Amino acid sequence: MDLFIICASLIWNLASAGEVNRIIGGEEAVPHELPYQVSLQWNYNNDSIRPMHFCGGALLSDRWIVTAAHCSTSYTDTGFIEVVAGAHNIADRQEDNQRRRVDNMTVHKQYCGTVCPNDIALIQVAIPFTLGEHVKPIRLPQRNEEFRGDALVSGWGATTPAMVPEYPDKLRKALLPLVAYDECRQLWYDVSHLANTNVCAGPEDGSKAACSADSGGPLVTVNGTRVAEDPVLIGLVSWGPFPCASPWRPNVFTGVAYFIDWIEEHMKKQDEPEQATEPLF
């Protein structure tokens, strides 16, 4: 089966990545044009080692990020996950971005731990982000809302579908045509884990695609070829073909519209202050 999970097992170290072309079939984003995009990075807790980008995510508020469940991972015993907002060139240590350590990460209870539905997780950071022009939340869709047309995927994922892919330092984006579920089901006829809570996107010829390390990154509505003034989060990069950008094999995203209740429930639960109790005597 020519499946791959865009996940930890296929995420390669960025340390040797040089300046390369683009997200597969895409282009470099204008710096800070996607203020909802975040980078999940593994901080080795060692100043001599550059933090490693391994997944993307989307900012929902000053403390909340949504990403893929399979991005819940670790690489070293002493390291930790950081969320980086307002980033463009993740190799530039002097860039004016915001780094926050993860306070907690909530993975959907029905996620199986590999290629399967319910690939969604919420991250709460320990210290709120400072919102502004370069760091802005994205709007959630309506419950079970369906979308047609094109959508924009973005991230710092692989720019080549090779066995040892190349990774960019600067944020990339690609415009993908949305694929109706029934058509996607026919194209992915030989897999059992495609669910009606997934969203599919990608051209038939495979010329544009997300790839490894784009995981958890946002798929959003667009206005023409530019991001709409008020973009809506359609999906999160979940899985796709191996090698990336294979013809007739669209990328598969977690459909955010099918998890609105889950998102709102967990954000509300964590944001509610603990109620003080009084002794009964």
The residue annotated as part of the active site, out of 154, 212, 215, 238, is 215
Catalytic (active site) residue 215: yes
The residue annotated as part of the active site, out of 32, 39, 88, 119, is 119
Catalytic (active site) residue 169: no
Catalytic (active site) residue 192: no
The residue annotated as part of the active site, out of 70, 88, 108, 134, is 70
Q: Is the dihedral of CA 128, 222, 171, 154 positive or negative?
A: positive
Residue for token pair 């907002």 = 85
Give yes or no for a contact between 235 and 199, defined as CB atoms under 8 angstroms apart: yes
Q: Which residues are catalytic?
A: 70, 119, 215
